């Protein structure tokens, strides 16, 4: 989920919340052992936005800002590879910096589709093997004019 507000020509501010749709568990095929622990990363970011017009009905969208990665750890209440339920056991927060962009293509009456890519640098990310994350996707949205 994201939103932005352009207030001076093509410049503005924006915010986003992004989370992985499903929890990731540690199963036999991944770790060699079923740990019974799953996790779900959640990113919160506040950005500066620059959105110049490229062509009729097409705008670039460049963003950069700061935020946090909040990783929620849960214990499976049932054993095995797929959890039947889970209980939050821990949460880990880390500061992040994000950069990214997309192409906003207006289809009709303020509705748009936006292919996009983001890069997140995560400070002191000891929970995972790298200090960065990437996201590539597409958004569907509406612009209030």
- How far apart are the C-alpha atoms of 109 and 118, rounded to whole Å? 27
pTM of the predicted structure, to 2 decimals: 0.77
pLDDT tens-digit series, residues 20-70? 776 666 543 444 445 567 778 889 999 999 999 999 999 999 999 999 998
Confidence at residue 20, expressed as pLDDT on a 0 to 100 scale: 75
- For the chain, strand residue ranges (E) read 2-8, 11-19, 24-25, 37-50, 53-55, 58-76, 86-108, 111-122, 132-142
- How far apart are the C-alpha atoms of 61 and 82, rounded to whole Å? 39
- How far apart are the C-alpha atoms of 13 and 113, rounded to whole Å? 19
- How far apart are the C-alpha atoms of 117 and 68, rounded to whole Å? 18
- How far apart are the C-alpha atoms of 38 and 89, rounded to whole Å? 10
Q: Where are the domains of the chain?
A: 2-23+43-72+94-142
Residue 139 has pLDDT above 80, yes or no: yes
105: which residues sit within 8 A by CB, 6+ positions away?
A: 57, 58, 112, 113, 114
pLDDT tens-digit series, residues 70-116? 887 877 665 555 555 556 677 788 899 999 999 999 999 899 999 99
User: Taking a C-beta distance cutoff of 8 angstroms, is the pair 143, 110 a contact?
Assistant: yes
Residue 125 has pLDDT above 90, yes or no: no
Which residue matches tokens 């009456």? 109
């Amino acid at each position: 989920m994201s939103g932005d507000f352009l207030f001076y020509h093509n410049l503005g501010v924006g915010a986003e919340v992004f989370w992985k749709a499903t929890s990731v568990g540690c199963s036999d095929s991944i770790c060699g052992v079923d740990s019974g622990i799953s996790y779900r990363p959640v990113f919160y970011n506040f950005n500066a936005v620059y959105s110049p017009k490229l062509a009729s009905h097409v705008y670039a969208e460049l963003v950069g800002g700061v935020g946090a990665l909040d990783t929620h750890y849960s214990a499976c209440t049932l054993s095995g590879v797929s959890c039947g339920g889970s209980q939050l056991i821990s949460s880990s927060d880390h500061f992040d910096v994000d950069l990214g962009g997309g192409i906003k293509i207006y289809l009709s009456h303020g509705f748009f589709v936006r292919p996009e890519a983001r890069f997140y640098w995560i400070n002191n990310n000891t929970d995972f093997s790298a200090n960065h994350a990437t996201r590539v996707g597409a958004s569907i949205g509406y612009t209030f004019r």
